[in-house]
Chain A
């Protein structure tokens, strides 16, 4: 290779573009302010608007917040609290259902996206299922699966499946044919093509689908607990409402909101590494660093 080295062009480093903009301390502070700014304003507005409220259905925010702790975190022992008795089971069902949807959605999505005859066969059916609002499946599935945990997990899984599946199909189908030819020319094996071409290549779409699926899964978690349930966050909110424990009911709504924020934060952290390349790539395609 010595002959080649002699002729090697030496312009390399100079042309490299800056990958990511530098993050200053002020930049971090500013993004935190942006993130919490609007919620704080809304809470303040809620607080002020309800401060003198006499309405039994719309108690002051101060009262709701005061009941938040006792409602969810009081009991003879920690294991007895509503947090452990209701919130954690909800969360467990959510995560199991969501995980099933992820595995099935990505697995089937890669298969359908990669095999053209399969795709042509499956696409109309997928569109049909996607068009059905998932909550409508709850009463249907109750008939088949009863009213236990498996029904609720199943509802979450089947509802969250579609955005993941359809986005994965889209992502795999949209792979650049030049990349596919490259993988073929270098004789990638079947598994190598899946792992090193399709999954990373479709990852932006997969993440998009997974994000939509997470919102759907949370909604279905609550809805599935409103039918003949014995525990769960959705069940608690309905129970409070029926017994006119209005501040407690509102605290359940807040708990649900907090859970959603927490989950989407975890989601963002978990997917940031997967998509780091994609953001840089998009920026370079737009012709700027």
Chain B
């Protein structure tokens, strides 16, 4: 395998604000190779958002290194797009949907004709071709979420980071958006890191699932997901392998909540 797209080594993050310092991430090391789709799960408050912000260059690490395509990440790197947890607030309310999708392309210096092609394609892909001229606040939560995804997709990133993007949408929309992410991932050949607290979602989407411990975070297990390249909401979720992985990851997360900090200490009753 060639050098990884994302390389995280001994990452440690301590929030040193007012009051006591909070160690969010104790020690994390993992790699994501080019074109992989990796999901990150862990208990609430485990430091998933913190990890993602460190990967995105939005938050400096306290110690350790993050590298993107061999280059150390010190600020938001080129070729990376982020869908933040608060997607609704991440859309510029003074711009239309199409302008929101176009804006990062303008800042990137993409020529006008190319821009409108990319915007059109991205909105088409998320099923919002007909609301380009609406404002984000005229849309439902699920639609706003798709705008945020379209904006990231139109940017044509090498790496796409997503933080619990579907936490606030209804189950039906959620399934549609999950398939959309898989489709975009395949269509664009992009490397994806997808943070979620939903175990089923992580297994359904990912080629790998990174299970994090509670804060201060370490990696409990790097779970390989062998469910094939084609996923189907009914078939995949009904497969025995899916059920096995689901049980395993569920138990790990439960153990993580109880404070277990290594796979060796985890008491897994349903050994698969």
Interface residues of A (CB under 8 A from B): 1-13, 15-17, 19, 176, 178-179, 181-182, 184-189, 192, 196-197, 200-201, 203, 277-278, 280-281, 284-285
Point out the residues of chain B lying under 8 angstroms from A178, CB to CB.
84, 86, 89-90
Contact: A10 with B127, CB < 8 Å? yes
Interface class of chain A by DSSP: helix
Q: Specify which of B125, B155, B173 is in contact with A8 (CB 8 Å cutoff).
A: B125
Point out the residues of chain A lying under 8 angstroms from B127, CB to CB.
8-12
Q: Specify which of B56, B92, B142, B187 is in contact with A179 (CB 8 Å cutoff).
A: B92
Contact: B107 with A192, CB < 8 Å? yes
Contact: A2 with B187, CB < 8 Å? yes
Beyond contacts A3-B183, A8-B125: 8 other A-B pairs, Cβ-Cβ < 8 A, are: A8-B124, A178-B86, A182-B90, A185-B58, A186-B76, A187-B108, A280-B135, A285-B137
Contact: B138 with A17, CB < 8 Å? yes
Point out the residues of chain B lying under 8 angstroms from A8, CB to CB.
124-127, 180
Contact: A15 with B143, CB < 8 Å? yes
Q: Mark B55-83, 1 if CB is under 8 A from A, else 0.
A: 01110000000000000000110101110
Residue of A nearest to B179 (CB): A7
Point out the residues of chain B lying under 8 angstroms from A284, CB to CB.
137-138
Contact: A186 with B81, CB < 8 Å? yes
Kindly state the separation between the CA atoms of A5 and B186 in the bound complex, as whole angstroms: 12
Whether a CB of chain A sits under 8 angstroms from the CB of B140 is: yes
Shortest C-beta distance, B104 to chain A (Å), equals 4
Residue of A nearest to B96 (CB): A277
Shortest C-beta distance, B268 to chain A (Å), equals 35
Contact: A187 with B76, CB < 8 Å? yes
Contact: B82 with A185, CB < 8 Å? yes
Shortest C-beta distance, A96 to chain B (Å), equals 30
Residue of B nearest to A182 (CB): B90
Shortest C-beta distance, A158 to chain B (Å), equals 31
Most buried by B among A179, A187, A285: A187
Residue of A nearest to B186 (CB): A3
Question: What are 25 pairs between A and B in contact, CB < 8 Å?
Answer: A1-B121, A1-B187, A2-B187, A6-B183, A7-B183, A8-B124, A8-B180, A9-B126, A11-B142, A12-B143, A16-B134, A178-B89, A178-B90, A181-B58, A181-B82, A185-B56, A185-B80, A186-B107, A187-B76, A189-B107, A200-B95, A277-B94, A277-B135, A280-B135, A284-B137
Whether a CB of chain A sits under 8 angstroms from the CB of B114 is: no
Residue of B nearest to A7 (CB): B179
Residue of A nearest to B127 (CB): A8
Contact: A4 with B138, CB < 8 Å? no
Whether a CB of chain A sits under 8 angstroms from the CB of B235 is: no
Q: Specify which of A9, A16, A181, A277 is in contact with B84 (CB 8 Å cutoff).
A: A181
Point out the residues of chain A lying under 8 angstroms from B177, CB to CB.
9
Point out the residues of chain B lying under 8 angstroms from A176, CB to CB.
89
Residue of B nearest to A188 (CB): B107
Contact: B84 with A182, CB < 8 Å? yes
Most buried by B among A5, A186, A284: A186
Point out the residues of chain B lying under 8 angstroms from A13, CB to CB.
130-131
Shortest C-beta distance, B33 to chain A (Å), equals 22
Kindly state the separation between the CA atoms of A188 and B143 in the bound complex, as whole angstroms: 25
Instruction: Evaluate whether A3 and B187 lie within 8 angstroms (CB atoms) in the complex, with A8-B125, A12-B128 already known.
Output: yes
Shortest C-beta distance, A66 to chain B (Å), equals 50
Shortest C-beta distance, B91 to chain A (Å), equals 8
